[in-house]
Every structure is written in structure tokens, then in C-alpha cells.
Structure 1
Amino acid sequence: MSTPSKPRCRAVTSRPGPPTGRRIARHRLPAVVALVAAAALPLGGCSLLAAGDPSSAYPLHTGIVATTFWVGEVFDPTASDGSQVHSTYDSLWMESFGGCDGTEVDGVCQTEARTAAEDWFPTETVPLENPFYLDLPFDDVNDPGAFARRDEVVPWAGQEPYRSHRGDPLFSYLKNRWVELSFDGATCYAQIQDAGPGEYDDAEYVFGSDDERPLNDRYGGAGMDVSPAVVGCLGFDELNGEQAGVSWRFVDDADVPEGPWTRIVTTSQVR
């Protein structure tokens, strides 16, 4: 039985057209956005965490579709968001990571199965950054609307070092933040390293407290892309596909337990 959809509260801003491509829409190439007014726009009808209030319990998002992506993947070389050689936060993401997060087949970076014995790490690349990564549809650097209201909607905006970087388009509030992910009895942790899929200013879903559905309606309505390490750790049904039923929430650094996801912790900022 269908239920009435909740009203969405969107800031009226200039937004880029929807990205093109197949199953997974990723990021745009990093570009310094023009500084725009950071005044909050009305969000009547939506429940968001109080920005700058780290004591608030981060809400759980349930029943989310996740898709797979990996550093070095190129699925549409003609699309601005069609390559994981770059991320929205790192113009040299593949170089920063240490190479293809998978296996090279005829010069093409493809995903690969991972094992617990190897801590779900890649088998052909020695990663320089955390292989447990994901994206969420809020690009607080390159999307003008998201950048304009990040101080109003990001719960940790009032904490340091974020507070000192208000108005700084070369510092992301989202990059490197930890997320707890659960699926079918397994729980793993990962860091945000990109934005997407399909949307880049969906604050109501990303930061909302009412288990809001993602605004994106493509790729199975996916609300995140996750790395091969996360796919293996959570035990997804397919190596490279869409997986429904994922739950997630933000967690602070101090609440991340030791695990394979803490072997390498990414700390680099926007470049």
C-alpha cells in the first residue's frame, strides 16, 4: 500500500542539470564555486538536525538502496560525472588513493571480489587512503545551493575545524566524515569521499531526522554509492549492482570502533 509522500523543502537555487549516464551518477569534477550568500532559506515542513549541535543523536536512515562504485572506474567518458578517476572533492582521486581500487583488465579498472582474510582491501593495489568509502548526495563544495546552506543544515558545522572554514570553498564539511552502514546483520564503517548518486543538494534526506527518502529516482532510487570494501564487508548480493535494505547514520570519530576501516584513515582535504 502506498503512503503519501512527505513534502520536500528545497532551497530555490540555480542547480545544474541532472547528470547523464548509466546506473550510477557520481560527482562533478572539482571546481571552486563562486561564493554565494550563505543566508538560510526557509525549510518549513522538514525536520533537520540542529546545525552545530554535535550532541544531537544522528538519526538512522533505513531501507536505502546502495550501488557500487570504485576509484578508477570510468563508466561514461563523455559525462562530467562519469569517472571515478576524479571525485568531487579530489581532482586527483585515483592518484591520491594509490591506483585502481580493483583489478586492471586490458587497461580498464574493474571491480573485484574482496575477502575477510584480506580485510576487504584491494588485491592488486596498496591503498594510500581508506578503501572503505562512500558518497552521499550533498556536495557542499561544488553545488552552489548545498554550499550556500551547509552552515545551516550540516549538524557539525559549528564545531572546529568546520566553523573556522565558513565560506571556504576549498574545505568540505562532508569529506572524511564517518558513516555506519548495516545490512542483513552486518555492520561496517566508511568515510565520505565523493558526492552522489544523481543529486548534489539533497539535505532533507542526508541530514533529515524523519527517515526521508532520497530525492534521486534513478538507479533504483539509490541514496548512496559504496566501495568494493563496503560491498564485501556488508555481504551484498552482487559484486556490482543495486542493493536494497541498507541502513546508515553518521557517527563521530570517537564512536568508530577499531576494524579494517581504521587501518588507513583518510585525512586529506579538497584539492
Structure 2
Amino acid sequence: MSIACVLAAVALPAAVFAQAGQPGPLTGLASLTPSFPRREAAPSSLPRHLTEKWHQNIVTTVFWVGEPSVGAGWSACKDSAWDPRWVENYGGPDHPTKRKGFLPAAFKPKQNPFYVALPFNDLVPKTRANPVISNFLRFWRRSVIGSFRNSKSVCKNQWIAIRFGDKVVHAQWQDVGPVNFDDYDYVFGFQRPKSTAQGMAGLDVSPAVRDFLGIPGRGTTDWRFVDETEVPRGPWKDIVTRD
């Protein structure tokens, strides 16, 4: 189940940069710039440490477009953190059991059925209050959408690879969750998910991802970011979400 709420300012530990071979937050943020080539409207431009690092043994659960709320504190997936008309733009509810291959049986979706939710929202105003996070997002936003506009999420549509046993699937980041919305140190760093301490998931995957990997309702997977230019052929590229 995915949620979209308010991001509190989160400081990135110097250890994150040290493990990535990058300077710490107090040793010159401008030196991070070379990791983010300034290309106009590039599909993706990711720092090397993001694409080389696997987040391992992450508790993984299933969610879907149109999923109803399961109770207080959980939001229905009629909209996403970045799309207030998610069900409509997807084409309808992505029913988790009524399937035709990797697609919902009732219709062909207008967006990629291979999607995920991760616990970070880059568009919440308090994100910009933290100089380390805002600097990271500033250069990433420049490389991905060719400007410093804050109206478009730089996280949405990014690709990740997910590994379960000997299978690897690729999917696009489309929502915020499963539990938190401010876990920068996990999503972009080297920390365990905040939700681990609560015995809860650190990754939500769609029914198509679940079915490709053969995950039961809840499982443990590894994942990492992948530059779009490196995404291999597969059913996840039949419909690619761009908007």
C-alpha cells in the first residue's frame, strides 16, 4: 500500500558519500556536479553509485493502481504522489488477480504495468530546506528534464531493476511508499529502510512485477537504479510511461 505525505528535512550522512567515493556534505556540494551531465531532456542521468549499488534483502509487497484503502493511515491508490488522476491515466484499475499475461484482463493499460513505489517524494516543499538533498535533486532535475523546474518530479518514471532468486525484472518508479515518504538515506544512500525497524516493507511492486518474478504476496528482493539507456528488452518496454 502506498502513501503520499509531507517530507521532513533529512540530512545525508557523510558515510553515504564516503562509500560512494563522493565528498561529504561539508566538503563542497558543487563537486557533485560532474556526476550529473547537463543534457537537455535526457531520459536519465544517474550517479554511478546509484546504478552500481544493490539494495539487498528488502521486504517487498504488492500494490496496484486503483487499490482501495485498507484502513486509517493508508491512502487508496486512485491517485499517486505525482498523478492526481492515476487510475484514469492508467486506463482503469490494475486488478491484481484478473490478469491476461502481465496486463489487467479488462483493458490494455496506457501506462507501463511494470511499476513500483519507493519511500521518497521529491516535490514536497520541505525537501528544498535540506541543502544536501536539494543540491542532489537540483542537478538530477537539470539532467533529466533540462531545467530547474520544481513542478515535475524527477523521481517519477525512473527505472529500477529488481532481483528475486535468478530472475531480474525492470520497472518504473510511479508512486511513493510503501510506508514512508522521506527515506532519502535508504533510497539514494546505503542505509536500511526506516520501515525495517517496524517489520514493514521498503518496496512496493505492481502485479506485473510480482508475476514476472513469481513473488508471493510478500517477499524479499534486491533492487537498484538503472539508467534508461541500459534497460534491456522485455515486457516492461512494451508500454513505457513518459508523462
Q: How far is the alpha carbon of 1:192 from its aligned partner?
A: 0.3
In structure 2, how many angstroms separate the alpha carbons of the residues matched to 1:177 and 1:235? Answer: 23
In structure 1, give the amino acid aligned to 2:3: H
Q: Secondary structure at the match of 1:213?
A: coil
Provide the residue aligned with 1:11 in structure 2.
none
Superposed counterparts of 1:21-170, under 5 Å:
24=1, 26-28=2-4, 41=11, 43-47=13-17, 52=33, 53=35, 54=46, 56-57=48-49, 58=51, 59-76=53-70, 79=73, 81-102=74-95, 111-112=96-97, 114=99, 118=101, 120-142=102-124, 144-145=126-127, 148=130, 149-154=132-137, 157=140, 159-162=142-145, 164-166=147-149, 168=150, 170=151
Q: What TM-score do the two structures reach when normalised by structure 2?
A: 0.78
**C-alpha distance in 1 between matches for 2:139 and 2:103:** 30
SS at match of 1:221: coil
TM-score normalized by the length of structure 1: 0.71
Quote how far apart the aligned CAs of 1:157 are. Answer: 1.1
Tell me if 1:249 matches 2:233: no
Identity of aligned residues (%): 34
| Structure ranking higher in helix proportion | 2
Separation in 2, partners of 1:159, 1:66: 31
Q: Distance in 2 between matches of 1:234 and 1:90?
A: 27
Inter-partner Cα distance in structure 2 for 1:143 and 1:45 = 26
User: Following TM superposition, by how much is the alpha carbon of 1:159 offset from its aligned partner in structure 2, in angstroms?
Assistant: 4.6
Q: Give distance in 2, aligned partners of 1:156 and 1:226.
A: 28
Task: Give the CA deviation at 1:151.
Answer: 3.6
Task: Name the count of aligned residue pairs.
Answer: 218
Partner SS, residue 46 of structure 1:
helix
Report the secondary structure of 2:57's partner residue.
strand
Q: Which of 216, 231, 237 is the aligned partner of 2:195? A: 216
> 138, 157, 162: which one pairs with 1:176?
157
Q: Distance in 2 between matches of 1:72 and 1:195?
A: 14
Gaps of 5+ in 1: 1-23, 103-110
